[in-house]
Amino acid sequence: MKGTVLYEVRDDVAILTVDNPPVNPLSDGVRNGLYESIVKAEEDSDVKGIVLTGNGRAFIAGADISEFGGNVEGKSLNEVFRKLEFCDKPVVAAINGIALGGGLETALCCNYRIADINAFVGLPEVNLGLLPGGGGTQRLPRLTGPSEALKMMLTGSHVPAKKALNMGIVDQISENILEDSIEFVKNIASETDAHPKVRDKNDKMLEAKSNDNVMVEAQAMAAKGRKGQFAPGQIIKCVEAAINLDDFDEGLKKEGEYFLECLMHPQREAMIHIFFGERAASKISDVPKDTKIMDIKKAGIIGSGTMGGGIAMCFANAGIPVHIIDQDEENLKRGISVIEKNYDFMVNKGKLTSEQKDSVFGLVTSSLNYSDISDCDIVIEAVYENLELKHEIFKALDQHVKPEAILASNTSGLDIDSIASITSRPEKIVGTHFFSPANIMRLLEVVRGEQTSNETLATIMAIGKKLKKAAVVSLNAPGFIGNRMLFGYTAQANMLLLEGALPHQIDQALESFGLNMGPFRMMDLVGLDLGWRARKLSGKESPLHAKIGDELCEQNRYGQKSGAGYYNYSEGSRAPNPAPENEATYEKISSENGFTRRDITDEEIVDRCILALINEGADILSEGVAQRAADIDVVYINGYGFPIWRGGPMHHANALGLEVVIEKLEKYKEITGSDVYKPSEMLLKLAKDGLKLGEAPSKEERKEKLGFEMSSVANNF
Ligand code: 3H9
């Protein structure tokens, strides 16, 4: 059994301490321990009241997520909650730290809640494809009112203690949580025998009965922020039941039914796969756990453009002073004013107070001199993609920045080893590929060079966590993980256009599949001219898939930046409007290249684009460029808008079944004649052995089972 509950009696108060490091989830041992400890306290006539708290930094981080989908042992959570709620002695939840999901639900079953000043609460089950199934959907609305409760449950947001007090979720805030809670329960036990239960608070439910707006607003919120997800609708139905059913236990019953439907839904498995995938991604199989991590006290950024400014904001937001260098004073001024505008925007939106803005923006300094970053612990170069320029910058950095500092490049595709080779500290050189806008996008691809040291890598993974990024390691290989996959995917979208589909049809099909943005909207956003100019410079003939894009550029249709690309854009708007005038161009280029345009189904569009991703992902895995299948999923969800509820391209392949994936690949290879659809060796071998992506055997068995050796980093694919 995992976890336990420590029992101690102090001053006639039983102190129950949940002990299940590091964050005290409600594993089987904790559930049994809680149940038994409550019985013990009830049976001890000397005990006047109970304080329930957690060991370490968490109160309780929720149900044990690793138990979902498996056989669960021990007492059920709802048995424990019932025991707690009907305990014959007063119970105070001393919320010492993190109280999420089942953790907050535990506290809601107690008579009183006191929170440490630094604690936070929340019901983030929606992020796992679930709903708060321990009574949270019934009890939280009774304290906050349904509107606020729905906001919390649909966003999964964390609410700091002070706000939780204002919202009525906790009764008191304390800086001396355990002592104050003991004192409180002793006093209250001597004053009265009638202790409040959240289930009995009905005033806010009665008020809500006549207010239809609450549900309408919740539906709109779910449709906007949680497109395609199953759990949000279930959460709304639970709150409807809380409002409409007069009997609390009937509401609980409904919650149980809706929870079970979420539990059985494939989205739950996909989203939990990503929860654990993000955490696994930070562990590098051949970097020992106890590798020294450098303390990053100050960061430097080279380049004050969009990327440089966004990266600087990430450091400042994490409380790390950051100094930006640019070679051009005008650029630098512009860059700094963009950063300030971004912070002002957050103030206007109520996401920051003016004081918070001043303090965070105060961490950003700038100048034109390399000597001002000599004391930085890390410097990230974020200039445009030109290897010669990067060589020059790294030579200068190597001279000016202290020798123990890490020097990183924000390249999206250049060779990190080549950059490292011109410095005297190749072990300190690493790629940190942020995604634009860097202050918002969660993905951080960490590019490991041939000589990047364990200490450098471990430090970057730790700083990634501090910057609240989903950091994933990639070997130094062309396109790294994400852009290599993107290339094959957009090429197929372009081939579909050449064969007869139209941009808006392709975009709509992929957006209905769940992608945030279809490929043609994305290409218009990035700009069609970048690739076109590079191809012109190379003097080589454009590949088939680029021919239409190149022709549009010849007509000055570069995408959003010129008001026209695959779509038309009205002045000042990013909304795409169909561009029927392009259709003659499509016809012309198709026929020039021997294609008779045909009707293409949405199914073929989705299959061909997503299969291209899956097949490339499998190759990336077999080459050891990514450590594990889940790393690829984390990259694609956090950097490329793949729907989290499908668990990423590799998880999606497993969900389809590798046999089915191979069958489809072979079908499209036949139709298109393209090697893009030649099934990856990895897929064929895994399918033959009845394995899934991510279920490959251990490193030792791999050669024997799969017939090929992989890079030493790819231990856990
Ligand atoms: C629920 O409660 C359902 C109920 O309503 C109803 C049921 C009937 N379980 O993130 P970290 C592990 S659903 C198991 O690196 P941080 C995590 O995998 C649950 N394990 O630390 C990692 O393991 P490892 C609702 C968990 O400080 C280690 O703890 N609750 C759980 O950056 C450290 O985690 C949630 O959704 C768990 N519940 O962040 C909260 N939580 O070291 C989910 C964590 O082997 N958790 N682990 O990689 C979080 O949001 C963050 O982990 C937390 C700490 C904020 C708590």
The domain spanning residue 79 has which CATH number? 3.90.226.10
Q: Which atom of ligand 1 is nearest to the CA of 58?
A: 56
pLDDT for position 697: 54
Of 539, 573, 592, which one is at a domain's C-terminal end? 592
**Does a structural domain hold residue 659?**
no
Between strands 4-10 and 13-19, the pairing is antiparallel
**How sure is the predictor about 135, in pLDDT bands with cuts at 50, 70 and 90?**
very high
Q: Which atom of ligand 1 is nearest to the CA of 134?
A: 6
Of 592, 607, 626, which one is at a domain's C-terminal end? 592
pLDDT for position 285: 86
Residue 381 region, left (φ>0) first, then alpha (ψ -120 to 50), else beta?
Answer: beta
Residue 425 has pLDDT above 60, yes or no: yes
pLDDT digits (tens, 9 = 90+) for 241-291: 999 999 999 999 999 999 999 999 999 999 999 999 999 999 998 899 999
Residue range 305-316: mean pLDDT, rounded: 97
Return the structure tokens found at 181.
Answer: 């809670």
Q: Which residues contact 647 (CB under 8 A, 6 or more apart)?
A: 269, 270, 271, 273, 274, 633, 655
697 alpha carbon – ligand 1 mean position (Å): 27
Residue 579 has pLDDT above 60, yes or no: yes
Q: Round the average pLDDT of the chain to a whole number and report it.
A: 95
62 alpha carbon – ligand 1 mean position (Å): 7
Residue 468 region, left (φ>0) first, then alpha (ψ -120 to 50), else beta?
Answer: left
| Residues 30, 156 share a domain | yes
Return the structure tokens found at 69.
Answer: 């989908």
pLDDT digits (tens, 9 = 90+) for 2-14: 999 999 999 999 9
| Residues 192, 140 share a domain | yes
Residue 5 backbone phi and psi in degrees, to 5: -130, 125
Of 210, 245, 264, which one is at a domain's C-terminal end? 264
Residue range 182-191: mean pLDDT, rounded: 97
pLDDT digits (tens, 9 = 90+) for 661-693: 999 999 999 999 999 999 999 999 999 999 999
43 alpha carbon – ligand 1 mean position (Å): 33
**Does a structural domain hold residue 281?**
no
**Does a structural domain hold residue 424?**
yes
Residue range 21-33: mean pLDDT, rounded: 98
Residue range 117-140: mean pLDDT, rounded: 98
32 alpha carbon – ligand 1 mean position (Å): 19
**For position 576, which CATH number holds?**
1.10.1040.50
Residue range 696-708: mean pLDDT, rounded: 50
Surface-to-core class of residue 253, CB atoms within 10 Å of its CB (0-12 exposed, 13-18 middle, 19+ buried)? middle
| Residues 566, 516 share a domain | yes
**Does a structural domain hold residue 125?**
yes
| Residues 419, 332 share a domain | yes
| Residues 326, 245 share a domain | no
pLDDT for position 696: 63
Mutation probe of ligand 1 site: the residue of 18, 31, 65 with most atoms within 8 A of C-beta: 65
Largest CA distance in the chain: 92
Residue 698 has pLDDT above 80, yes or no: no
| Residues 371, 258 share a domain | no
Give the residue with greater pLDDT, 502 vs 713: 502
Give the residue with greater pLDDT, 710 vs 285: 285
**How sure is the predictor about 530, in pLDDT bands with cuts at 50, 70 and 90?**
confident
| Residues 527, 430 share a domain | no
- Name which of 509, 537, 548, 473 is nearest 715 in CA terms: 473
Residue 4 backbone phi and psi in degrees, to 5: -150, 175
pLDDT for position 717: 24
**Does a structural domain hold residue 705?**
no
Give the residue with greater pLDDT, 160 vs 534: 160
**For position 354, which CATH number holds?**
3.40.50.720
Alpha carbons 685 and 469: distance in angstroms, whole number = 34
Count of domains observed in the chain? 3
% of residues, the chain, pLDDT over 90: 92
Structural domain harbouring 560? 501-592
Residue whose Cα lies nearest atom 23 of ligand 1: it is: 279
**Does a structural domain hold residue 496?**
no
Mutation probe of ligand 1 site: the residue of 2, 23, 31, 78 with most atoms within 8 A of C-beta: 23
Q: Which atom of ligand 1 is nearest to the CA of 133?
A: 6
**Does a structural domain hold residue 92?**
yes
| Residues 168, 28 share a domain | yes
| Residues 116, 79 share a domain | yes
Task: Kindly write down the DSSP assignment for every residue of 338-402, as one continuous string.
Answer: HHHHHHHHHHHTTSS-HHHHHHHHTTEEEES-GGGGTT-SEEEE---S-HHHHHHHHHHHHHHS-
Alpha carbons 627 and 283: distance in angstroms, whole number = 10
**Does a structural domain hold residue 652?**
no
Q: What is the 3-state secondary structure (H, E, C) of 233-246?
A: HHHHHHHHHHHHCC
| Residues 370, 327 share a domain | yes
Alpha carbons 64 and 693: distance in angstroms, whole number = 25
| Residues 306, 254 share a domain | no
Residue whose Cα lies nearest atom 43 of ligand 1: it is: 61
pLDDT digits (tens, 9 = 90+) for 52-70: 999 999 999 999 999 998 8
pLDDT for position 716: 28
Residue whose Cα lies nearest atom 48 of ligand 1: it is: 279
Residue whose Cα lies nearest atom 24 of ligand 1: it is: 279
101 alpha carbon – ligand 1 mean position (Å): 9
| Residues 185, 140 share a domain | yes
Instruction: Strands of 393-527 (E only): list them.
Output: 406-409, 429-434, 443-448, 470-475
Residue range 191-198: mean pLDDT, rounded: 96
Residue 301: strand pairing partners = 324, 380
Strand order in the sheet with 322-325: 364-367, 322-325, 299-302, 378-381, 406-409, 429-434, 443-448, 470-475
pLDDT for position 711: 42
Residue 700 has pLDDT above 80, yes or no: no
Residue range 289-297: mean pLDDT, rounded: 97
Residues with CB under 6 A from ligand 1: 22-23, 25, 61-66, 77, 98, 100-102, 105, 124-125, 128, 130, 132-134, 136, 279
Residue whose Cα lies nearest atom 8 of ligand 1: it is: 133
Residue 546 has pLDDT above 90, yes or no: yes
Q: Which residues are tagged catalytic?
A: 105, 125
